Structure 1
Amino acid sequence: MLQEELDGIWKSALEQLKLSVSRGTYTAYFSSSNLRSIKEVDEQRQIAEIALANAFLRENVEQRYWSIVKEAIDTVTGKKNDLVFSVDLIEKKITERLPQRHDTDGFEKIEGLFDRDLGMATEARAKRANLRPDFIFENFAVSSSNQMAWAAASAVAKSPGNTYNPLFFYGGVGVGKTHLMQAIGHTILDKEPEARIIYCAGEEFTNEVVESIRTNTTQKLKEKYRTVRGLLLDDIQFIAGKEKVQEEFFHTFNVILRNGGQVVLTSDRTPQEIDKIDDRLRTRFEAGLVIDVPQPDLELRAAILIIKARQKKLDLPDHLAPMVAEVIEHPRQLEGFLVRLQNEITVNPRVIDQELVSQLLGKQVKEVGINRILSPQDVIGIIAEYFEVTVGQMKGNRRSQPLALQRQILMFVLKHELRLPLTEIGRILGDRDHTTVMHGIDKIQNSTLANPQIQKDVGAIRKILYGKAGS
């Protein structure tokens, strides 16, 4: 069969695949694929050889997407196909088939997970609102793991003050909460250029309240915050335990909602998990939409890497993104990888290829965390061995010292090294309440500087864990 015929068959098969997988999956796994050959076995059956750009993609496509690829080729050819996956990058043919970065064929744009809207807020308006110019919906990667959060933010941006008010995002560091929050602000400013939008962190709001009380300028503070079209307040958990600040925010919150404005909040925990917060505020937070922004899955991490590489004008081939995302789980560490990559090609100019990426990943593997390598049960076993107790004792209910303290250190490590949610840590350790877990973590966090022995234990445990992860 001529290559032209093979290209036509594969182009049609790819169109079928686009209907079966997300945009991120298509871009990451299939955009660099190639139909290498089709050999007839008999009138009803043939063998189709599909070439992927590298062994990593071949293995993952074969394991995860074999059935949908077969269905697509069977549909296009009208015959039953046995599939063979190989590694073969034919750059010219792949480039010809790929939608160009400003093309509207295939998916709306090669950016894949987002639709470009050129009517973004001007830099001046964004600066006035304290918004980052790059934190817009068009730069936010969407997959099944964060689609609900993205959809909620989009709905609020289209109809601020009317849908999900307040909108409360919670999740870990670097998962996109601030990005979504600021994207809402940008969209409101696009539609309403004269609207007043304020983005600030909980710490900043706290400092302003304290300063206004000290200088007797509370009226000025009220005029600033209570007349906005949208208040975007990051890390609301920071106001916990601060009575005067909570009082001011409570009244500010009520005035904004009463005037038809929109409030968007973020936190590292749910309203129920925020300790020392006024019940009136907790009730109001929960009256809107409370939504989790989870850690990104493999598909989303690959998409994030592609987006950020393009923002940095790095020519990182799309087919290498899943390889990086498989090793590096945290979004902030993906950025660190790109900084390292940018520095490498600046000092030693070369094409970004699989060899270079593998080399850099080898250097970074100990920096990316242990949660891709060690399970929670592994960590529990290692810490139990370190303290010379049993796993059963670590998970048990005995509160005698030093066992209770050792268990709190375990909670601290599970939270900060494996980045597990409080509820998940509680479940693993005998269905403990999340408030118990939070108390234990806070105790260790507050003691690491004051108590040299705790500091020594935590440091030693981390050394053991990373030694296991790197071995």
Structure 2
Amino acid sequence: MQPIWIYEVGKLEDQLLLGQDDSFVALQHAWAKVCEVLAERVQKLSFDSWIKPVVPVSFDGDIVVLSTNSRFAKYWIEERYLADIKSLLEQNLGQKVKVEIRNCKAEEANPVLDEPLPVKKPRKDSSEESLFLPLNNRYSFDSFVVGPCNRLAHATAVSVSEKPGRLYNPLFIYGRPGMGKTHILHAIGLAALQANPNLRVAYVRGETFTYHYIMALREQRISEFRKRYRTIDLWLVDDVQFLVGKDRTEEEFLHTYNDLYDSGKQIVMASDRSPRDLGLSPRLMSRLECGMVADIATPDLETRIAILQSKAEKENIGLSHDVLAYVAGLISSSVRQLEGALIKLHAYGALMHKEISPELAREVLNNYYGVEQATKDVDLRMVQTAVARKFNVSVDDLTGQKRNKEIVMPRQVAMYLARQLTDASLPCIGRAFGGRDHSTVLHSIEKVKQMMVSDPSVAQIVEQIISDITSGS
């Protein structure tokens, strides 16, 4: 088996690491989703030590190859995490796979060259090698738990699947990560195909669209790209926020959208922010807002219990209602975290041969999710006060108009933490910081993320402020 290497392409606007074919792109997307789940299931130190360094190498047939950086890491992952990795990859790739862990350095598995190599023409088969990602059969309407937090999004999604292009077109669904947006997109596609197997359904992420567009430009195959994207009956676009800041890709997306919309084709999009909060061009924003916009909010306690009950029944996990109620009360911000906690408890009970009681659940989960409870009542004023104290400035400085260096960085950190620790929208955060617009808030958030990666001392300061806020000190 020849691994599918990835190379750095030239300085097109989007600056991506691009794969030689779509199977590798699918693997990259799947691995990102696997890491999101494992980051919630595994202790942070373990995740950073063992999972984070893993590099996806190739996806050929049903064989996935992952690379790690030492023999001991290979052994440890195979002993502790391989079953979870395999299961999660299968969920996200939509097929059974065999996973191989190899011991080789990341730079050997993923060579980056000073000059891009000549691009080989992609392989073709009888199906013309579909551009699009597979739908996951597990993400159906039957397995989606409906509550007040998602009732509107669910109802409009069902209507769209029954009458594509006739109701709620476009449909834009937004909500924080882990709320079920991807589930709904897959469910729409599955239900629509069940009703009409000849329907041309395409599920794609913003990142994948960008990749396809850049490769089409590089290979001078833009006509083929447009033909494939503009002959779709039902276009499901996940992670639209990935298009932000990529002007040429955004322009191509707009033309694709217009072509499909004018042809009466159904468009469904999902993002972590509302159209108005994305920071896209006014023309594209107006298109996204012209149809039905539905948010998925944080599930209430009753819905969280129902989600846990549904998951427990499906996975044949025997936990009492009291335990499920405790878990639902502890974790409120993410459906993924709820499911991760359920699996943790089930594994602990099976390995330790103990029946899980509410008391034991508290003991097992407190180290993982204790901060979740502490952040429930955090508001914007608490964030501003904690940041002002840490940087020895005043809250008035943070909310005022001064732009000197001593004030700008603390203000950016405060906006970042406001987004992380509260449910406030970008416009709401902007108003709390002296009437700044949502694009300024978004820029501040991205700036702090970059600083935390490039400067460990900034990350340490941010973590200390979070600790101060959640501990009430």
The answer to whether the superposition gives a TM-score over 0.5 is yes
Q: Distance in 1 between matches of 2:232 and 2:95?
A: 19
Indicate yes or no: 2:308 matched with 1:305. Answer: yes
Distance in 2 (CA, whole Å) between partners of 1:369 and 1:196 is: 45
Task: Indicate if the aligned counterparts of 1:135 and 1:183 stay in contact, CA closer than 8 A.
Answer: yes
Corresponding position: 1:139 with 2:143: yes
Partner of 1:243: 247
Percent same amino acid at aligned positions? 34
Partner of 2:234: 230
1:210-250 CA-partner distances (Å, limit 9, x unpaired): 11111122233223221122110101121223233223322
Of 318, 321, 325, which residue of structure 1 is paired with 2:328? Answer: 325
Matched, 1:414 2:423: no
Counterpart code for 1:309: A
Alignment partner of 1:457 is 2:455: no
What is the SS of the residue equivalent to 1:449?
A: helix
CA distance in 1, matches of 2:396, 2:248: 45
CA contact (8 A) 1:415 1:421 kept: yes
Q: Residues 436 and 240 (structure 1 numbering): CA distance in 2 closer, same or farther, change over 3 Å?
A: closer
SS at match of 1:200: strand
Report how many aligned residue pairs link the two structures.
345
CA shift digits 1:412-467 (9 cap, x unpaired): 1111233532123224334432222222212212222334553342233234334x
Distance in 2 (CA, whole Å) between partners of 1:211 and 1:185 is 26
Is the partner of 2:267 in helix, strand or coil?
Answer: strand
Pick aligned residue for 1:195 from 195, 199, 222: 199
Report SS of the residue matched to 1:138.
coil
The equivalent of 2:382 in structure 1 is 378
Alignment-derived partner of residue 259 in structure 1? 263
Give how far 1:168 is off. Answer: 0.7
How far did 1:264 drift? 0.5
Per-residue displacement from partner, 1:132-162 (whole Å, max 9, x unpaired)?
1111111111112221111221221221101
Work out whether residues 398 and 407 of structure 2, in 8 Å CA contact, stay in contact via their aligned partners in 1: yes
Aligned partner of 1:296: which letter?
Answer: P
In structure 1, the partner of 2:16 is none
TM-score (norm 2): 0.67
1:436 pairs with one of 436, 440, 444:
440
Between structure 1 and structure 2, the one with the greater Rg is: 1
Q: Does 1:400 align with 2:404?
A: yes
Amino acid at match of 2:296: V
Q: In the aligned structure 1, how far is the partner of 2:322 from the partner of 2:460?
A: 43
For the pair 1:149 / 2:153, whether they are aligned, the reply is yes
Q: CA deviation at 1:337?
A: 0.7
Structure-2 separation of matches of 1:316 and 1:219: 55
Q: Is the 8 A contact 2:330 2:373 kept in 1?
A: no
Asked if 1:355 corresponds to 2:353, the answer is: no
Q: What is the CA deviation profile of residues 155-206 of structure 1, one whole-angstrom value per residue up to 9, with x for unaligned ones?
A: 2122110111111111210111111111111110110012121111100111
Once the two structures are superposed, what CA deviation does each residue of 1:378-428 show, in whole Å capped at 9, x if it has no partner? 333222221223333333333333122211101111112335321232243
Q: Deviations over 1:22-58 (max 9, x none)?
A: xxxxxxxxxxxxxxxxxxxxxxxxxxxxxxxxxxxxx
SS of 1:316's equivalent?
Answer: coil
Structure 1 CA distance for aligned equivalents of residues 132 and 318 of structure 2: 33
Deviation at 1:359, TM superposition (A): 2.4
Residue among 182, 189, 197 paired with 1:185: 189
Listed as ranges, the matches of 1:8-407 within 5 Å are: 130-275=134-279, 277-330=280-333, 331-366=335-370, 368=372, 370-407=374-411
1:206, 1:239 within 8 Å by CA — same for their partners in 2?
A: yes
Q: What amino acid maps onto 2:418 in structure 1? A: L
Contact residue 206 and residue 245 of structure 1 kept, 8 A: yes
1:197·1:230 contact (CA, 8 Å) conserved in 2? yes
**C-alpha displacement at 1:373, in angstroms?**
4.8
Structure 2: how far apart are the matches of 1:189 and 1:325? 34
CA RMSD of aligned residues (A): 2.6
Task: In structure 1, give the amino acid aligned to 2:312.
Answer: A
**Deviation at 1:129?**
6.1
Amino acid at match of 1:407: R
Letter in structure 2 aligned against 1:398: K
Contact 1:370 1:418 in 2 (8 A): no
Amino acid at match of 2:187: A
With over 3 angstroms needed to count, the CA separation of the structure-2 counterparts of 1:449 and 1:128, relative to structure 1, is closer
Q: Return 5+ residue gaps in structure 1 as ranges.
A: 1-121
**Contact persistence 2:331–2:337 (CA under 8 A):** yes
Instruction: Give the residue type in structure 2 aligned to 1:245.
Output: T
Which is further off, 148-157 or 456-465? 456-465
TM-score (norm 1): 0.67
- What is the alpha-carbon distance in structure 1 between the residues aligned to residue 394 and residue 256 of structure 2? 52
> In structure 2, do the counterparts of structure 1 residues 251 and 374 end up closer, same or farther at CA, with 3 Å as the change threshold?
closer
Range with bigger deviation, 427-436 or 256-265: 427-436
Tell me which moved more, 216-225 or 228-237. Answer: 216-225
Which residue identity lines up with residue 134 of structure 1 in the other structure? R
Change (3 A) 1:313 1:161: same
Assess, with a 3 A threshold, how the Cα gap between structure 1 residues 195 and 248 changes in structure 2: closer, same or farther: same
Cα distance, 1:265 vs structure 2:
0.6
1:248-270 deviations in Å (ceiling 9; x for gaps) = 32232223223332110111222
| 2: CA distance, partners of 1:378 / 1:247 | 40
Q: Partners of 1:452 and 1:361 in 2: how far apart?
A: 28
CA apart distance, 1:354: 2.4
Mapped to 1, the partners of 2:339 and 2:394 lie a distance apart of 39
Secondary structure, in 3 states, of the residue corresponding to 1:162?
coil
| C-alpha distance in 2 between matches for 1:196 and 1:233 | 14
Greater Cα offset, 178-187 or 236-245: 236-245
